């Protein structure tokens, strides 16, 4: 199994699964940057770094993240967390989860996660963010497991190097490996993302969905006839406002 992947202890085999990107797909912003204020309050970063993080969050929300920006974020995060205590980061994320992440979960995304689970499918979050961030979010949403970036650590502290970077083709490779191990039929599986950088992940399954897509992904989705979902915002009733799910469909109908 790839680093950064967590599966249920029971290891039950299901016919299909649903794979969700996290940032701007399940939640309305960057999960890593969302914890910048918490990291500042607990002394992990300086005031200047916190301000830079807030600016980066605004840029991400406005324009998403293309390949070049993702590479810059990768280098910045790797350098920033060097020397941090793994246990301390996990404590900060867990203790601030309800206040930081719960308010920015798209109601439509939560509805789809619940609908897939009700239909008997396992649900996985597939994210470039670190497993210490993604794991607690997955648990909060009732996900079966995660595929996420894993930072290398020694003596309980991050070294600034990555063991596994869950990005681009690596996300798709993780999905294919998971499917082989658990017996999922990929043509029957679902995937959701907002970014063209996740095109390999979307192409790996039989039911790809573009969620609030960037310009490039919208173009691909429309050309290929993929469903394009518009999530209105966190906290509201699923499927209402700003377009919601596909016109006239409930979450349950969307996952059939």
The set of catalytic residues is 21, 23
CA distances (Å), 165 to each of 7, 160, 171, 254, in order?
18, 13, 9, 31
DSSP state of 193: E
Residues sharing a CB contact under 8 Å with residue 141, sequence separation 6 or more, in sequence order: 26, 105, 110, 113, 123, 125
Q: What does DSSP say about strands 5-6 and 190-193: parallel, antiparallel, or unpaired?
A: unpaired
Say how far residue 190 (Cα) sits from the centre of its chain.
14
Say how far residue 209 (Cα) sits from the centre of its chain.
14
Q: Residue 113: which H helix or E strand, with range?
A: helix 107-118
CA distances (Å), 187 to each of 191, 216, 251, in order?
11, 24, 20
Identify the CA nearest to 139 among candidates 109, 194, 94: 94
Q: Contact, 116 vs 18, CB < 8 A?
A: yes
The whole-angstrom separation of Cα 108 and Cα 231 is 6
């Amino acid at each position: 199994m790839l680093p950064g992947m967590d599966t249920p202890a029971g290891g039950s085999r299901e016919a299909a699964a649903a794979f969700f990107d996290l940032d701007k797909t399940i939640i309305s912003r960057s999960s890593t940057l969302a914890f910048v204020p918490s990291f500042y309050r607990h002394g992990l970063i300086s005031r200047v770094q916190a301000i830079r993080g807030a600016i980066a969050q605004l840029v991400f929300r406005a324009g998403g993240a293309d390949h070049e920006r993702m590479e810059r974020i990768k280098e910045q995060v790797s350098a920033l967390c060097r020397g941090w205590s793994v246990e301390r980061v996990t404590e900060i994320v867990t203790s601030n989860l309800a206040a930081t992440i719960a308010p920015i979960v798209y109601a439509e995304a939560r509805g789809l996660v619940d609908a897939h689970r009700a239909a008997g499918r396992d649900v996985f979050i597939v994210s470039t963010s670190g497993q210490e961030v993604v794991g607690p979010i997955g648990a909060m949403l009732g996900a079966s497991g995660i595929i996420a970036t894993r930072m290398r650590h020694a003596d309980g502290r991050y070294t600034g190097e990555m063991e596994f970077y869950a990005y681009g083709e690596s996300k798709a490779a993780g999905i294919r490996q998971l499917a082989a191990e658990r017996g999922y039929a990929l043509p029957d599986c679902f995937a959701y993302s907002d970014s063209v950088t996740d095109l390999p992940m979307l192409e790996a399954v039989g039911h790809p969905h573009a969620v609030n897509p960037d310009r490039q992904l919208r173009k691909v989705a429309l050309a290929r006839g993929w469903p394009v979902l518009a999530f209105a915002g966190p906290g509201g009733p699923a499927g209402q406002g700003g377009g919601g799910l596909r016109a006239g469909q409930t979450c349950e109908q969307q996952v059939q």
